[in-house]
Amino acid sequence: MGSARSKDALFEAIAVMGKAFASPRRLELLDLLAQAPRTVDELARTSGQSTPNTSQHLQALHAAGFVTRVREGTSVRYALAGEEVLSLWLALRDASVVQLAEVERAAREYLGEEVDAIGRDELITRMRSGEAVLVDVRPSEEFDAGHIEGARSIPLAELEHRLAELPTDREVVAYCRGPFCAYAHAAVRQLRASGRSARRLDEGWPEWRLASRAETPRKAA
């Protein structure tokens, strides 16, 4: 049987990961990296942090094993360190909504008035029958890094000027980074104001990607 000291060392080692979660800024960086790998400068710009602060947070995430990094010339590009990290982040986020009323209240204040949502299975059925068009309203670099098959890339900032690209006789479904991403909510409001039938997908690209990969073995069998 191991000693009390070795047991403490074990739990202290595990606690390093927990400590890495103890910062809202680091959680935001994980959320951004769930969409696409990015350099320090890109993450700083997207999150509204200074480059030095962003770099410090990324170093803490790297020390905890959450991210990988690769030097590209004078820049360093970070990425999530595998699907286990993505699953862990999504589980923490989803559990916080269930367990902490404050999280749900903060989400409502941030996202504004709720808009109608559609689930994964219904969306797949409606896309196959040609009844729905799927639009990815994230920035184009996130779409390029990975997206739902069959989706069109129309970043929210371009939606107003590209409405003519979308049909008026089919439902438009918008999706973005996940349930706490405001892009899809804003897109649905804008689409409905233009007279189109629209809903948002109740999940984002990271959740869809994990679910699709989980289904792959069953399909192959």
* pTM for this entry: 0.88
Cα 116 from Cα 132, distance rounded (Å): 14
Mean pLDDT of the chain: 92
Provide CB contacts within 8 A for 7, sequence distance 6+.
none
Quote the strand ranges of the chain, DSSP E. 38-39, 67-72, 75-80, 117-118, 132-136, 152-153, 171-175, 198-201
Question: Could you tell me whether strands 132-136 and 152-153 are parallel, antiparallel, or unpaired per DSSP bridges?
Answer: parallel
Structure tokens at 187: 């897109």
- Which one from 58, 127, 156, 176 is the annotated catalytic residue? 176
**Residue 209: exposed, middle, or buried by beta-carbon count in 10 A (0-12, 13-18, 19+)?**
middle
Give 190-221 pLDDT, tens digit per residue.
999 999 999 999 999 999 999 988 775 544 44
Q: Walk me through the domains of the chain, giving residue ranges and CATH numbers.
A: 4-87 (1.10.10.10), 114-220 (3.40.250.10)
Q: Is 181 noted as a catalytic residue in this protein? A: no
Structure tokens at 49: 């942090």
User: Are residues 183 and 110 in contact, defined by beta-carbon separation less than 8 angstroms?
Assistant: no
Q: What is the spatial distance between Cα 58 and Cα 175, in angstroms, rounded to a whole number?
A: 27
What pLDDT digit, counting tens, does each position of 5-62 carry? 888 888 888 888 888 899 999 999 999 999 999 999 999 999 999 999 999 999 999 9
Cα–Cα distance between 118 and 141 in angstroms, integer?
A: 25
